[in-house]
Amino acid sequence: MIAIPFQAADWNAILPIVVLAVTSLAVLLGDLAAPKHVNRYVAIAIGCAGAIAAGVLAARQYGYDYGAFFGGFMTGGFTTVFEEIVLAALVGSLILYGALGPAERVGGTTALMLWSTCGAMLMAGAANLMTIFLGLELLSLGLYCLCGMVDRKQARESALKYLILSSTASAFLLFGMALLFGASGSVMLADLTNAAVAVNPLFWMGTGMFLIGLAFKLSLVPFHTWAPDVYEGAPLPVTAYMSVATKAATLAVFARFIYAALPSGVAEKLLLPIWIVAGLSMIAGNVGMLAQHDLKRLLAYSGIAQAGYILTAMAGASSQGLRYAIFYLAAYAFMNLGAFAVAAAISGDGEEGSRLVTYHGLARRRPWLAAAMTVFLLALAGLPPTAGFLGKILILSTAANTGFVWMGVALIVGTAISLYAYAKIVRAMYEPADDRRTHDATPIAPLAWASAAFCALAVVALTFYPLTPSNVLPLVR
């Protein structure tokens, strides 16, 4: 018998992921056993319970730095925070299925979403090239299916487009990884910090392709064109999930790479293109929002810009900046999930909530939902009293500290542009509605409603109690 070289601590490190993976099997079984009229809720309940269990297990690893599997999967503060954000995205999106979509498919979609989350959590802790790719593909494969799991032409288009373009990005990423391996002779990110690696041209090419792959997944300009189309076509809960989870997981990999895997001295030159791309994203993403008539497309463009804001915090690779990037990401997760929850709550059988015309006069018909939506939109625009405001000021302060003032200026300009797009929706909601439609025909969706309320409270509360994780380093071993 071959002795397994891993210890209990190694398995403990991935226990949250294992729990989630097993839960999705339970979801499938529960879906079979449950009576037809409640199976939607059975799937959601089991899925959420598993996610919460995984969240608790992940939280217990918060202060416990350990490189499991010979350093291939790092536990500790950084991983925990990203895992929690991904899990929050999972729960926030899952419960939208309580209001939307055909009930008979909820079991399958829930299971897929859980598996996909396993991939995202793996990415959150991945510290070698193989785990990164494993996590990324696990995440993406689930999403390809999820995008297409509704009987609509756009959904199929969305799935296919996502598959093809995302695979292209994966190809870049994989080739970059191969070159990095060629340069360093190791798959460990930690081994890339060796100064001897920096002189190797393979390292430069590899890093370039690796970063292009990541930029593609993060939908930074000029690799952003897939995002609005894919978001628009996918079912609403999947869009909500995608907009937060893929972004968080990719940012985790990105942060680990730029903070911990670059030889000293070359980072400035090597990463300058990324900062320029981030600056362009802040401008182009916000300009792109102006002409949208669909909430999902609008939030896709918004996400392009928000990724740029988060990268501004990471520019200069200060440990403060990483904390603020995480803070902003967490705030962004709540804003986005909340906005999608409102959209789900005002949708009937279709997805009316994703069309902006539906929001006309919403304040009359659903005053609380309109108030919550206002909070989310103001937060996305960075107006007080929301976490978006505080997050922006923390990012700007980091930019001033690290000397990336021009990125701060791009953030300011982008934000000024974005306000019109967000406030336009606010205006539509508070416009005096014509009296014929003072009552909303769609039934109250309690889960979506509760999710919106929770997110609104979180977005406001984070302004006054800015929780930023204190132990986010070290990132590799």
Partner 1 sequence: MIVLATILLPFVAGAALYALPAGDRRISKAAGALAAVATFVMLLLGRDAQWSFHWLSRPFESAFDFGATPVSFWIALLLALCTACAILATNVPRARSMISLLLFLEGAMLGLFLARDLLAFALFWDLMLLPVFFALLGWGEHASTAWRYLIYNFAGGLTLLFAVAAFGAIYGSTDVIGRAGMPLVGSWAPWIFAGFAFAFLVKTPVWPLHTWMPSTYGDLPPPMVAVVGAVQSKAGVYGFIAIALAFMPDYMRQFSGLLIALGAVSMIYGAVIALIQHDAKRIVAYSSLSHLGLIVVAIASANPAALQGALVYIVAHGLFTAALFLILGYVEEREETRSLARLGGIGKANPRLAGALCIAGLAALGLPGLAGFVGELIIVIGVYQAGYAWAVIVALIAIVLASAYVLRLFQGIMNGPEVDDLPVRRDLTWIEGLAVAPLLAALVLVGVQPHAILAALGGVAP
Residues near partner 1 (CB under 8 A) are 320, 324, 378, 382-385, 389, 392-394, 396-401, 405, 408-409, 412, 415-416, 419-420, 423, 427, 430-432, 464, 466, 468
Report the nearest approach of partner 1 to the CB of residue 236 (Å).
28
Report the nearest approach of partner 1 to the CB of residue 212 (Å).
31
Q: How far is CA 63 from the centre of its chain?
A: 23
- Beta pairing partners, 355: 294
> Which residue, 248 or 407, is less far from partner 1 as judged by CB?
407
Q: Is the dihedral of CA 154, 160, 162, 168 positive or negative?
A: negative
> Which residue, 3 or 465, is less far from partner 1 as judged by CB?
465
Token output for 119: 């991939």
Residue partners of 97: CB distance under 8 A and separation at least 6:
40, 43, 44, 106, 109, 110, 237
Q: Which DSSP symbol is given to 350? A: S
3-state DSSP of 218-236: CCCCCCCCHHHHHHHHCCH
> Which residue, 355 or 424, is less far from partner 1 as judged by CB?
424
With b for 16 or more beta-carbon neighbours within 10 A and e for fewer, the 9-40 pattern comes to ebebbbbbbebbbebbebbbebbeebeeeebb
Report the nearest approach of partner 1 to the CB of residue 402 (Å).
9
Report the nearest approach of partner 1 to the CB of residue 258 (Å).
20
> Which residue, 131 or 402, is less far from partner 1 as judged by CB?
402
> Which residue, 44 or 289, is less far from partner 1 as judged by CB?
289
> Which residue, 219 or 468, is less far from partner 1 as judged by CB?
468
Report the nearest approach of partner 1 to the CB of residue 376 (Å).
14
**How far is Cα 416 from Cα 405, in angstroms, rounded to an integer?**
17
Q: Which DSSP symbol is given to 404? A: -
> Which residue, 228 or 382, is less far from partner 1 as judged by CB?
382
Q: How far is CA 70 from the centre of its chain?
A: 28
Report the nearest approach of partner 1 to the CB of residue 427 (Å).
5
> Which residue, 27 or 411, is less far from partner 1 as judged by CB?
411
Report the nearest approach of partner 1 to the CB of residue 393 (Å).
5
DSSP states of 154-206: HHHHHHHHHHHHHHHHHHHHHHHHHHHHHHHS-SBGGGGG-HHHHT-HHHHHH
- Beta pairing partners, 176: none
Instruction: Give the number of other Cβ atoms within 10 Å of residue 287's Cβ.
Output: 15
Report the nearest approach of partner 1 to the CB of residue 296 (Å).
24
> Which residue, 187 or 426, is less far from partner 1 as judged by CB?
426
End-to-end CA distance of the chain: 30
Report the nearest approach of partner 1 to the CB of residue 432 (Å).
7
Specify whether the CB–CB gap between 256 and 476 falls below 8 A: yes
